[in-house]
Amino acid sequence: MNMKVKPNTNLLDVKGMKIHFHSSEGVAKAVDGISFHLDRGEVLGIVGESGCGKSVTAKSIMRLIPTPPGKIAAGQIIFDGTDLLKLSIQQMRRIRGNRIAMIFQEPMTSLNPVFTIGDQISEMFILHRGLRRKQALEQAVEMLAKVQIPEPCKRSREYPHQLSGGMRQRAMIAMALACDPQILIADEPTTALDVTIQAQIIDLMLQLKEDFHTSIIMITHDLGVIAEIAQTVAVMYAGKIVEQAPAVDLFDRASHPYTQGLLKSIPKLGRRAAKGRCDLSEIPGIVPSLYRLPQGCSFYPRCEKAHAVCNSLMPDLHSVSEHHRVRCWLYADKGKRKD
Amino acid sequence: MQPLLEVHDLKVHFPIKKGIFSRTTGYIYAVNGICLHLDPGETLGIVGESGCGKTTAGLAILNLIKPTSGSVCYEGRDLAGISKKEHKALTREMQIIFQDPYSSLNPRMTINKILSSPMEIHGLYKGARRQERIDHLLEKVGLHPEQGKRYPHEFSGGQRQRVGIARALALNPKLIIGDEPVSALDVSIQAQIINLLIGLQKEFNLSYLMISHDLAVVEHICDRIAVMYLGKMVETAGFKQLYTNPKHPYTQSLLSVVPVADPRHKRKGNMLSGDVPSPIHPPSGCYFHPRCPRRMEICSRQAPELKEAGPGHLAACHLCG
């Protein structure tokens, strides 16, 4: 009777989610049964190549998958105790932008070119907080100041095309954080930016995470960016999570042949200057089509360590240590490698 | 040894036209006086942020954009003074690989047709030898000769970039300019293309001019590197000096902000604030001074010249030399 329910630190719990796209070519299994969770104040990185399903995963949390052709075929997205997939459109609207916000790769195409930056940010306050336009605009200027845009008052009256790429991304972040969301989903937020601006945006996101106590889901193809920002990492390949681990473990003890291959295939800054040129190891072949995934493990046609079982059965996620899980037959026997 | 390519004080200014009479109201100083040279068999990298003029410089070297002033000499011949016919002959020796493998191949041509066009234009490899040559090229870049019958949309991004490379090789060029040849590709495919480019260079003794924003890729491929900022060259050095002992504050900051795939790595050094200024109204004096963490009083008044900062190492900064 006195048993108190332990406060759940899980803010977001995605369970067995499958997202399929139907087209004349057949069914593309863009996301094929993935599960992950996000703690309060955590930064989760989702990394993978184009077409691995990382953006679709992000959009599905916001319920932004166009239906048809897309369909969430199975799974649950539990946010703070409620399943987002069961909410009505009106209920979802109250969450979207308010409690879960998202920023996108291309800040030019995700801002509306015919409204000023101030108008677009103040819309958040009018819609979710019920403020009047004047107050909302004041709040918008305050948000622009928080994302370190110089002359926020003047900038709030400008249109997106008058801002530089880095500035637009700051404005996007200001809009996303306007209502103090619990989760910020960032889909390749720095990919379109130069390295010097990228570093500024990453620092800004990390600082705002502390100030606003926001959890972040960072989606990117860049392992360097992941290493800078994420505490835990999920590596995706062909719609599945193939490796999941705390960032330090993942980079120190990458266990899935795909993750190992990825880490070995990127040239490291300063390595040639220090040690001379070593060959980049390449992952042979290409990512399989989502319409015609190979039987068994999706990675086996490109895998150096493939053996008989790999082409007939998809492996489960096996634990190699606490919190470190790998979808590979090499680790099927309680973390012991069988090669 | 005579350099294969010598660029002297190259400038490309684009006029900004306004009003019904299209009066020129100003200029975009895209490339504002760069000097470089490239020896046979060497790889030179040009790095810089977007808008620094690196792509424009590459196009101006190929004469695909008319330079405003300055000279581009190929094997000692100034490209500005030559006739159309001579220029056409020279295009056989200088080829380009573009960034986007999706928009740089004609979707209505088969791969065979794409690869035979350059030979047709130059009247090379006639008759049956042309198909032989195409098959040979496809094999060289790691594709099957049968794939020549297919159209670009049937290929993945990496395979298309291989076709782009085969097209650049079709005329047996000496110089290939790569305009961000791997930046549109996925990580696992990037390594394949980088290895292919390095292998082809050894096999055909090619000279490369690699334009890229990715400092790690440039280090891996290039022998010498030129860093550009707002249309000017700020530093040039061999890869070893540039990456271990950069002299210009811009190069130093650029190198310090590249994300490293190691969660324990902490960024150190100078973090640049603000954005790159507009090339329409570049700052006075040294173009970098508004963002420079080590600016001095002289920097806003006087533009620094490229000065020797070590053997084969030039830097345009008042702190050096």
State which residues of chain A have pLDDT below 70: 1-9, 334-339
* Cα–Cα dist B153/B131, whole Å: 21
| Contact with chain A for residue B45, Cβ under 8 A | no
Residue of A283, A286, A292 best to disrupt the B interface, most CBs of B under 10 A: A286
Contact call for B258 and A261, based on CB within 8 A: no
Contact call for A50 and B186, based on CB within 8 A: yes
Does the ipTM surpass 0.85? no
| Contact with chain A for residue B102, Cβ under 8 A | no
pLDDT of residue A285: 84
User: What are the chain B neighbours of A167 within 8 Å (beta carbons)?
Assistant: 275
User: What are the chain B neighbours of A25 within 8 Å (beta carbons)?
Assistant: none
pLDDT of residue B226: 95
pLDDT of residue A5: 46
User: What are the chain A neighbours of B215 within 8 Å (beta carbons)?
Assistant: 195, 269
Q: How far is the alpha carbon of B103 from chain A, nearest alpha carbon, in Å?
A: 18
Q: How far is the alpha carbon of B126 from chain A, nearest alpha carbon, in Å?
A: 34
Q: Which residue of B has its CA nearest to A252?
A: B262
pLDDT of residue A68: 82
Residue of B275, B276, B278 best to disrupt the A interface, most CBs of A under 10 A: B275
Mean pLDDT in residue range B130-135: 94
| pTM, entire model | 0.87
pLDDT of residue A337: 47
Tens digit of pLDDT for each residue in B217-261? 999 999 999 999 999 999 999 999 999 999 999 999 999 988 888
Tens digit of pLDDT for each residue in B138-156? 999 999 998 999 999 988 8
pLDDT at B166 over 90: yes
Among B189, B215, B264, select the one facing A269 at the smallest CB separation: B215
| Contact with chain A for residue B219, Cβ under 8 A | yes
Contact call for A195 and B215, based on CB within 8 A: yes
pLDDT of residue A254: 93
pLDDT of residue B25: 87
Query: Count of CB atoms within 10 A of residue B216's CB?
Result: 22
| Contact with chain A for residue B130, Cβ under 8 A | no
Among B159, B259, B262, select the one facing A222 at the smallest CB separation: B259
Instruction: State percent of chain B over pLDDT 70.
Output: 99
Q: How far is the alpha carbon of A139 from chain B, nearest alpha carbon, in Å?
A: 24
